[in-house]
């Protein structure tokens, strides 16, 4: 603890296209709250009774929302906190996207405090300067998280990639491989159909979609992703035979 602040990972996610979302989703606030509640419940089961019970017993986590911004905090040792952040992202990005709420954000690691939804500290300042910078759908690490955590943390979940920035061109970072979670249950065509529901597709939205599809295609070339898809398909075949 430093100056009354805890050390941990913090992720800021914002819902792209929230402005005017009421035109295509009359109860967008209810939908967002429901998705957040489901995310809390899944993570609670995993860290309390599930496979993560022992692995994340030293991590204190929480999910809060401020309008259309979702904050995930994981206080504790860097590698464990970043792993839990990956597991939080793993299901939620796909679920939110399927519901018509695409997410973009960033994850930092450092000192911060959260009191009554008020967030302060260097890790907050850093992630706040990064989370709206990327011009796509996805989550990337800020320098503090990249430099502090081991390179093999959740290999296959965090991948090297040049993120398209709205201001600085392309920036090399570790990015969360959400397409891996998407593709084992859904197709690229279903992803395209999801994007089409975001109409009207204005130039700024089209750029984000194009950048997202480039990332998606690049992750589909990843041997870890290919192996996971095959394993999932084989498991489905085996289950059907039984």
Tokens 């089409």 appear where?
Answer: 196
Determine the 3-state secondary structure of 126 from DSSP. Answer: helix
pLDDT at 1 (0 to 100): 59
pLDDT at 10 (0 to 100): 96
> How far is 142 from 78, CA to CA, in rounded Å?
13
pLDDT at 138 (0 to 100): 95
Each domain of the chain, given as residue ranges in start order, spans: 6-241
Tokens 């850093």 appear where?
Answer: 126
pLDDT above 80: residue 233: no
pLDDT at 239 (0 to 100): 65
> How far is 137 from 203, CA to CA, in rounded Å?
15
pLDDT at 185 (0 to 100): 82
For range 61-85, the mean pLDDT: 92
Q: Render pLDDT for 103-147 as a digit per residue (tens, 0 to 9).
A: 999 999 999 998 888 899 999 999 999 998 999 999 999 999 988
* pTM (two decimals): 0.88
Radius of gyration from C-alpha coordinates of the chain: 18
pLDDT band at 208 (very low <50, low <70, confident <90, very high): very high
Q: Render pLDDT for 19-49 as a digit per residue (tens, 0 to 9).
A: 766 666 667 788 889 999 999 999 999 898 8
The CATH fold of domain 6-241: Alpha-Beta Plaits (3.30.70)
Query: Buried b / exposed e across 17-34, counting CB within 10 Å, b at 16+?
Result: beeebeeebeebeebbee
> How far is 85 from 88, CA to CA, in rounded Å?
5
């Amino acid at each position: 603890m430093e100056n009354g602040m805890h050390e941990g990972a913090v992720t800021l996610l914002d819902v792209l296209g929230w402005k005017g979302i009421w035109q295509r989703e009359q109860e967008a606030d209810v939908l967002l709250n429901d998705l957040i509640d489901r995310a809390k419940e899944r993570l609670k089961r995993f860290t309390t009774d599930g496979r993560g019970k022992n692995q994340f017993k030293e991590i204190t986590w929480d999910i809060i929302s401020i309008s259309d911004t979702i904050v995930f905090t994981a206080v504790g040792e860097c590698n464990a906190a970043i792993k839990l952040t990956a597991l939080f992202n793993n299901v939620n990005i796909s679920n939110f996207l399927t519901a018509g709420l695409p997410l973009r954000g960033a994850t930092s690691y450092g000192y911060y405090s959260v009191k009554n939804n008020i967030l302060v500290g260097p890790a907050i300042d850093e992630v706040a300067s990064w989370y709206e910078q990327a011009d796509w759908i996805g989550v990337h690490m800020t320098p503090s998280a990249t430099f502090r955590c081991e390179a093999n943390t959740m290999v296959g979940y965090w991948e090297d990639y040049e993120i398209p920035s709205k201001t600085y061109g392309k920036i090399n970072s570790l990015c969360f491989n959400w397409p891996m979670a998407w593709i084992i249950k859904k197709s690229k065509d279903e992803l395209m159909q999801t994007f089409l529901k975001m109409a009207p597709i204005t130039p700024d939205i089209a750029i984000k979609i194009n950048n997202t599809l480039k990332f998606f295609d690049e992750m589909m070339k990843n041997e870890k992703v290919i192996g996971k898809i095959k394993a999932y398909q084989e498991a489905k075949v085996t289950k059907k035979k039984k």
